Amino acid sequence: MKLLCEKMDFLSVLLLFFSAVAVSRAQVQQELSAETSEGTGINITCSHPSIQADNIHWYRQLPGRGPAFLVNAFKGSKEVPDPEGQVFVSSDRRSSALWLARPRLGDAAVYYCA
Long-range contacts, 82-87 (Cβ 8 Å, 24+):
83/107, 85/41, 87/56, 87/58
Indicate whether 7 pLDDT > 50. no
Q: Domain 2-113: which CATH class?
A: mainly beta
Mean pLDDT, range 70-98, rounded to an integer? 92
Question: Among residues of the chain, what percentage have pLDDT more than 90?
Answer: 45
Name the DSSP letter for residue 61: E
Q: What is the pLDDT of residue 22?
A: 43
Nearest alpha carbon to residue 87 among 35, 46, 30, 54: 46
